DNA sequence: GAGTGGTCTAGACCACAGA
DNA sequence: CTGTGGTCTAGACCACTCT
């Protein structure tokens, strides 16, 4: 086994980690075919069964997908909504409308105590804030703040965020970092003033309740790298999560 | 292979299904040890590796858990909150307080169109409604309506629901049915009058926003068997979901 | 030391996709 | 037909738990 560098990890875990790095490094773009299980086994000095187990875990993690008789392929980077969708309340089987993303701005500020703790940073550590607006049929339905540790994503350019596939896509493409959701919190709140104006909920209308989402995401090594806060208008739509 | 009854299913799937039935049937109570992989392999006429694969999937599904060097055990039935917890907003690592369950009542009515469709029933099919209140430190924090197809759970007795481990525990115990969450929807709503009074949100206080949860659950064969509607007071707590 | 789950291999055969 | 992923077996060794 050419791989084994004396780490006391099972071989299939080492294979998995190695492939993870190569995927994150951009060796295979979305829908590119990986080498066959036998080729990988040969190349990495493991048996086909061991490679298979590693690939299976990467498929389960959403990094790859398989097609019987054809091969194993790199999965596209998930969008900022992940598995969640906005659907009509009560209709679980509905086909979701795609949401249009609008990049509002990139700013910097310092972490509050909560956020610093969640992201395992020191107090007042510098953060990047990426603000995005989501529209459905032209009407604003959600507002999003992604907070990232500034040091981990030095040089992040606002221009990258305008046309791209969202925050997760940009981070994967520019920094080789693939995020996955660790935990989500849901609350009902009265929509704050600033968010209300950005979402186009104006003046006359009585106060509006909004779904407030907090999300903590981490890279594949488990380091927390994103705190996201999202306000959703849910008087007509419901935030829908499908389970495994 | 004594198992193979000409179904064109992989052997490990057959083993999995067979074990699933035996678990649901109550052959092993929570934390009972299953026979070893070798014993099961022998008994079922498959190899240890095949049994292992079936067990792994059942562990992933939450029906079993393993302890290295000790054995494989039946997992306890999940409570009505599943993987979700009520935590302080922003604190993802917090240890949750246990919630006290209070059974409010069992009633019957007929399915609305939405619910009938979701549960794959005809319009106006008879339903059982199980209403429960959840308290934290004595204060009401959530109100719960579980809607079940009356025909599937004929004879369900309100007394079973008073002392037990909740709806899912009762269904497992009395009907050998194990439910898992298929999909959840979240919305922010102003708390309706009836629910407000049951949650002890009274008079003077201005209208309160509440987190409204819709959940669809199914048995292990994928038949949808529960529609749950839950109102959570989230001015102090957040509905928290950890992801795999 | 005996018994359990955890990893790994080598080889076999099947089912499916595509030239 | 070849090449791919999907299943299955038999046997080996390791790591852990308990007596």
pLDDT at A204: 61
Q: What is the pTM of this model?
A: 0.90
Provide DSSP, A168-189: HHHHHHHH----EEEEEEEEEE
pLDDT at A86: 95
Give the mean model confidence (pLDDT) for residues B14-33.
92
- Report whether A166 contacts A179 (CB < 8 A): no
| E strand or H helix that includes residue B160 | helix B158-163
**CA–CA separation, B70 and B67 (whole Å):** 5
Q: Name the band, by pLDDT with cuts 50, 70 and 90, for residue B2.
A: very low
Is B52 a residue whose pLDDT tops 90? yes
Q: Which of B166, B180, B171, B167 lies closest to B217, judged by CA?
A: B180
The tens digit of pLDDT for each residue in A17-41 reads 999 999 988 899 999 999 999 999 9
3-state DSSP assignment of residue B228: strand
pLDDT at A138: 92
The tens digit of pLDDT for each residue in A140-174 reads 999 999 999 999 999 999 999 998 789 999 999 89
Cβ separation A90–B214 shorter than 8 A? yes
**CA–CA separation, A37 and A169 (whole Å):** 27
Provide DSSP, B175-224: H----EEEEEEEEEEEPPHHHHHHTT--TTSPP-EEEEEEEEEE-TT--E
Nucleotide closest in space to B47 (CA vs C1'): D9
- Report whether A167 contacts A176 (CB < 8 A): no
Which tokens in the block code for residue A113?
Answer: 């105590």
Main-chain dihedrals φ then ψ at residue B84, nearest 5 degrees: -80, 150
Give the alpha-carbon dihedral of B15, B21, B27, B33, to 10 degrees.
40
Nearest residue in B to A90, CA atom? B114
Strand C proximal to B4 Cβ, under 7 A: no
Is A7 a residue whose pLDDT tops 70? no
Residue A204 vs residue A7, higher pLDDT: A204
The tens digit of pLDDT for each residue in A82-136 reads 889 999 999 998 888 889 999 999 999 999 999 999 999 999 999 999 999 999 9
CA-to-C1' span, B36 to D16 (A): 15
- Report whether B91 contacts A114 (CB < 8 A): yes
pLDDT at A3: 44
Domains of chain A and CATH, by start: 3-74 (1.10.10.10), 84-241 (3.40.1410.10)
For an interface test with A, which of B191, B199, B209, B229 has the most A Cβ atoms less than 10 Å from its Cβ?
Answer: B209
| E strand or H helix that includes residue B115 | helix B113-118
């Amino acid at each position: 086994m050419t791989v084994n560098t004396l780490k006391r990890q099972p071989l299939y875990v080492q294979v998995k980690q190695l492939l993870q790095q190569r995927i994150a490094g951009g060796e295979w773009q979305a829908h590119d075919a990986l080498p066959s299980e036998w080729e990988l086994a040969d190349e990495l000095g493991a048996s086909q069964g061991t490679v298979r187990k590693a690939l299976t875990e990467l498929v389960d993690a959403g990094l790859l997908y398989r097609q019987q008789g054809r091969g194993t392929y790199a999965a596209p980077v998930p969008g900022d909504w992940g598995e969640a969708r906005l659907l009509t309340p009560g209709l679980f089987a509905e086909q979701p409308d795609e949401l249009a993303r609008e990049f509002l701005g990139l700013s910097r500020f310092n972490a509050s105590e909560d956020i610093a703790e969640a992201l395992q940073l020191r107090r007042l550590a510098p953060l990047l804030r990426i603000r995005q607006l989501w529209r459905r049929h032209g009407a604003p339905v959600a507002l999003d703040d992604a907070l990232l540790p500034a040091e981990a994503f030095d040089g992040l350019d606002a221009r990258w965020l305008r046309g791209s596939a969202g925050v997760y896509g940009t981070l994967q493409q520019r920094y080789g970092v693939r995020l996955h959701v660790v935990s989500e919190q849901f609350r009902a709140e009265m929509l704050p003033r600033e968010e209300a104006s950005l979402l186009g909920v104006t003046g006359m209308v009585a106060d509006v309740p909004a779904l407030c989402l907090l999300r903590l995401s981490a890279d594949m090594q488990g380091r927390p790298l994103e705190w996201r806060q999202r306000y959703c208008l849910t008087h007509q739509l419901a935030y829908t999560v499908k389970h495994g």
